[in-house]
Amino acid sequence: MSETAQKETLGFQTEVKQLLHLMIHSLYSNKEIFLRELISNASDACDKLRFEAVSNDGLYEGDNELNIHISYDKVAKTLTLRDNGIGMSRQEVIDNIGTIAKSGTRQFLDSLTGEQASDANMIGQFGVGFYACFIVADKVSLTTRRAGESEAVRWESAGEGDFTLESVEKDSRGTEIVLHLRDGEEEYLDGWRLKNIIHKYSDHITFPIMMPIEAPVGESDEEETLVGDEQVNKASALWTRGKNDISDEEYNEFYKHVAHDFEDPLVHLHARVEGKHEYTSLLYVPQRAPYNLYDREHPQGIKLYVKRVFIMDDADNLMPSYLRFIRGVIDSSDLPLNVSREILQSNKVIDSMRSGSVKKVLDMLDKLAKDEPEKYTTFWQQFGKVMKEGPAEDMTNRDRIAKLLRFASTHKDTDEQVVALDDYISRMQEGQEKIYYITADSFNAAKNSPHLEVLRKKGIEVLLLTDRVDEWLMSSLPEFDGKPLVSVTKGELDLGELEDEEEKKQHEAIDKDFEALVGKVKEILGDKVKDVRLTHRLTNSPSCLVVDSGDMSANLERLLKEAGHDTAGSKPIFEMNPEHPLVVKLNAMDASERFDDWTHLLFEQALLAEGGQLDDPASFVARLNAMLLELSA
């Protein structure tokens, strides 16, 4: 296109309009961050250019001193940012600045409450990026030319419904953004103020950030005389510096840059690994789970660098899926600069950096749990469900991950997940060999389950598992520290040493009188059950259902059904408590009385008690009412 190109007006995507509106209204208390966002983008653009130029030197167009330049004009009330990074083509401008391509944007916007403080946090976490300039500007003009291309394009908008695009001339590649500041935002037309903001947020940026040197005031009141540029930031890659040289603030600001987050991270780890493979990693755990943590498309948060040259965002081979919330950079000294995503799929260097980093992350979490339990609690609330995917995904580190797991248990009686498997073991009873747990679809269903009765009586702790992922977790965690983990709703409850001989003998004696009853009940329940037997696991309840040790738990079956899976449905085993008066009464009944109804009722209430659904609720109600009527007659 040439001079004939018309200025075209395009509408913002609805989501952008909404986001702009929200942002301007919820981020006003921390306006200065707009500068950090723009510098962060400019730095990314320089990173991208440097990477593409590895295989195509021509992209430098003779200028390989990458930098970011910031200047202002007090009279025109404009602030200008310029970078000589990769720039954008016309289509890229349309795609990047005018639309939000992130998956889950709709749900994100719907989740906002309208409450300013919390929305501000949410928006920060979503990443407002470029649009932040509208917090302080009522008109923004962005002119850009992609490296190696001839067409330049100018994008302009007042941050309301639409933007314009036109083709323009631009000699230098890269992007220039002119902010026309709103009335009242004159503070950003002050070199000292701008430098302060840059120091605060952007010191870690790897490329020089340049600003005009101002002549000392006094020589002329109105116009400052410019005598060249000066570099405002340190411009060395933060992770290459020694730990002792880096302040917490610097670590935190760097995190915000790489993670596109507004909040400080919870904890970080910075390690230089030498030996067979050399690399540096600077990894962070965010304070809050991102809104799209469960999206399949969710990008991984590690940036890969090779010898300080940025290679790619979201390098998904550097962290396993259960650590997908980790953010940061890994910088390799061994990979070639021209690596592609394909090469990374199966690469020894990557594998070794990955396994090394995973171990370091697990160590960091372990240390956090020991040294800063409050922070660990926050971590677990935010990321516990994801960590629970770990043992299934990462067999090598299963035991280390298991140490980090936290559960609710009968010891605490709150649904907060704070009990570690080690804590559980330290509280095990004399003679207890197993770790007991129950899975259910709610905390109350788990806590009040009849299956816990005898364990409670004996003072044995039971883990109460109610997250969906728990079934999956338990199927891949058969033991911890040599102790098997067993479900109290599966198979015969074998209390091993905990059962004393005396008790056993008593039970056997009682059971003798009920042998005939078991047969009769089995006949009546027919194919509803796999088996009928007597139990001593109950103290208050007359009956309960268990599944055979090899079968799928009732809870898992429910979850699968909810998810639309056709489960063959394993039949439960019906267990009766021969010490319960109702069962004693049933045993004394003859068939002419309501023996059938009693049997069905005991079965149905056992099903209800564990959160199951009745096949034929109407018959249940009819039966119950008939018996109530008899009672009141």
Stretch of 37-45, 147-155, 420-428, 483-491 lying at the interface with ligand ADP (CB under 6 A): 37-45
**Contact status, residue 146 vs residue 120, Cβ threshold 8 Å:** no
Stretch of 85-93, 133-141, 244-252, 561-569 lying at the interface with ligand ADP (CB under 6 A): 85-93
Looking at residue 450, what DSSP letter applies?
A: G
What is the SS3 assignment for 226? strand
Based on the shown chain and the rule CB under 6 A, indicate whether residue 361 belongs to the binding site for ligand ADP. Answer: no
CA distances from 527 to 323, 510, 531, 572, 618 (A): 45, 27, 9, 10, 20
What is the SS3 assignment for 128? coil
CA distances from 389 to 386, 393, 466, 475, 502 (A): 5, 6, 14, 11, 43
Phi, psi of 175 (to 5 degrees): -130, 135
Pick 83 or 331: Cβ nearer ligand ADP: 83
List residues bridging with 532 in a β-sheet. 574
Based on the shown chain and the rule CB under 6 A, indicate whether residue 86 belongs to the binding site for ligand ADP. Answer: yes
Pick 102 or 571: Cβ nearer ligand ADP: 102
Residue from 59, 85, 209, 488 binding ligand ADP (CB under 6 A): 85
Q: Compute the least distance from the CB of residue 202 to ligand ADP, in Å.
A: 14
Pick 260 or 324: Cβ nearer ligand ADP: 260
Pick 175 or 287: Cβ nearer ligand ADP: 175
Stretch of 7-15, 79-87, 384-392, 495-503 lying at the interface with ligand ADP (CB under 6 A): 79-87
Residue nearest ligand ADP (C-beta atom): 129
Pick 175 or 535: Cβ nearer ligand ADP: 175
| Per-residue buried b or exposed e for 293-302, using 16+ beta carbons within 10 Å of the residue's own CB | eeeeebebbb
Question: CA 66 to CA 373: how far, in whole Å?
Answer: 44
**Contact status, residue 503 vs residue 539, Cβ threshold 8 Å:** no
Based on the shown chain and the rule CB under 6 A, indicate whether residue 179 belongs to the binding site for ligand ADP. Answer: no
Pick 10 or 582: Cβ nearer ligand ADP: 10
Residue from 18, 80, 89, 96 binding ligand ADP (CB under 6 A): 96
Residue from 67, 105, 167, 175 binding ligand ADP (CB under 6 A): 175
Pick 127 or 356: Cβ nearer ligand ADP: 127
**Contact status, residue 336 vs residue 306, Cβ threshold 8 Å:** yes
Q: Compute the least distance from the CB of residue 39 to ligand ADP, in Å.
A: 9
Give the H or E element holding residue 625: helix 617-632
Pick 197 or 529: Cβ nearer ligand ADP: 197
The dihedral through the CA atoms of 450, 455, 458, 459 has a sign that is negative
Phi, psi of 512 (to 5 degrees): -50, -45
Q: Compute the least distance from the CB of residue 130 to ligand ADP, in Å.
A: 4
Based on the shown chain and the rule CB under 6 A, indicate whether residue 129 belongs to the binding site for ligand ADP. Answer: yes
Based on the shown chain and the rule CB under 6 A, indicate whether residue 127 belongs to the binding site for ligand ADP. Answer: yes
**Contact status, residue 76 vs residue 215, Cβ threshold 8 Å:** no
Pick 131 or 305: Cβ nearer ligand ADP: 131
Pick 43 or 410: Cβ nearer ligand ADP: 43
Pick 83 or 575: Cβ nearer ligand ADP: 83
Q: Compute the least distance from the CB of residue 92 to ligand ADP, in Å.
A: 7
- H runs (alpha helix) in 341-372: 341-345, 348-371
Residue from 24, 97, 358, 368 binding ligand ADP (CB under 6 A): 97
Phi, psi of 326 (to 5 degrees): -70, 135
Stretch of 84-92, 222-230, 417-425, 545-553 lying at the interface with ligand ADP (CB under 6 A): 84-92
Q: Compute the least distance from the CB of residue 43 to ligand ADP, in Å.
A: 9
Which residue bears the tokens 């916007």?
109
Which residue bears the tokens 């302080």?
136
Q: Compute the least distance from the CB of residue 573 to ligand ADP, in Å.
A: 55
CA distances from 404 to 284, 391, 398, 438, 480 (A): 17, 11, 10, 19, 12
Q: Compute the least distance from the CB of residue 37 to ligand ADP, in Å.
A: 6
Pick 284 or 480: Cβ nearer ligand ADP: 284
Q: Compute the least distance from the CB of residue 335 to ligand ADP, in Å.
A: 24
Nearest to 188 by CA among 29, 39, 180, 234: 180
Q: How would you write 528-545 as a 3-class SS string? A: HCCEEEECCCCCCCCEEE
Question: CA 161 to CA 213: how far, in whole Å?
Answer: 38
Which of the residues 251 through 270 are near ligand ADP (CB under 6 A)?
A: 260
Q: How would you write 496-565 as a 3-class SS string? A: HHHCCHHHHHHHHHHHHCCHHHHHHHHHHHHHHCCEEEECCCCCCCCEEEEECCCCCCHHHHHHHHHCCC
Based on the shown chain and the rule CB under 6 A, indicate whether residue 406 belongs to the binding site for ligand ADP. Answer: no
Which of the residues 39 through 58 are near ligand ADP (CB under 6 A)?
A: 41-42, 45
Q: Compute the least distance from the CB of residue 310 to ligand ADP, in Å.
A: 13
Stretch of 127-135, 230-238, 404-412, 479-487 lying at the interface with ligand ADP (CB under 6 A): 127-135
Q: What is the total count of residues that contact ligand ADP (CB under 6 A)?
A: 16
**Contact status, residue 413 vs residue 405, Cβ threshold 8 Å:** no
Residue from 23, 79, 88, 198 binding ligand ADP (CB under 6 A): 88
Q: Which residues contact 211 (CB under 8 A, 6 or more apart)?
A: 69, 70, 71, 191, 194, 195, 198, 229, 230, 232
Q: Compute the least distance from the CB of residue 44 to ligand ADP, in Å.
A: 6
Stretch of 14-22, 53-61, 83-91, 300-308 lying at the interface with ligand ADP (CB under 6 A): 83-91
Stretch of 81-89, 107-115, 150-158, 235-243 lying at the interface with ligand ADP (CB under 6 A): 81-89
Which of the residues 202 through 261 are near ligand ADP (CB under 6 A)?
A: 260
Nearest to 243 by CA among 235, 253, 251: 251
Based on the shown chain and the rule CB under 6 A, indicate whether residue 103 belongs to the binding site for ligand ADP. Answer: no
User: Which residue ranges make up the site for ligand ADP (CB under 6 A)?
Assistant: 41-42, 45, 83, 85-88, 96-97, 127, 129-131, 175, 260
